[in-house]
Amino acid sequence: MVKQSVHILVTGKVQGVFFRQATKVVAIKNNVTGWVKNLENGQVEILIEGDDKNVKSVIDWCHNGPANSRVDEIKIEQQEFSGQYSNFEVLY
């Protein structure tokens, strides 16, 4: 398996709709590590690391998000794999 690290910015109606908590559930289910947090500009920022197949599953989910969200845009940036995260957490 190829390990990868991906930085994601999600734009739309993505705050106040349990986007971060749902992302954490999906990340843990897909065995990826990293974090998710709200930004002051209304976006959600995510960093995920793991096997390429699992990372892709989380990215695919991010295009739709949880039930009450509306994803208008998603920006994905590949980064160098660091392996520094031992779990996935919501940052405040």
Where residue 49 sits, what CATH number does that domain have? 3.30.70.100
Judged against a pLDDT cut of 90, whether residue 2 lies above it is answered with yes
Domain count, the chain: 1
Residues 6+ apart with CB under 8 A from 58: 23, 26, 27, 30, 32, 48
Q: What is the mean pLDDT of residues 55-59?
A: 98
The reported pLDDT for the residue numbered 71 is 98
* Domain housing 86: 3-90
Q: What is the mean pLDDT of residues 53-73?
A: 98
Greater model confidence, 1 or 91: 91
- Catalytically annotated residues: 20, 38
For the record, the structure tokens of 21 come out as: 């908590």
Judged against a pLDDT cut of 90, whether residue 1 lies above it is answered with no
Q: What is the mean pLDDT of residues 52-57?
A: 98
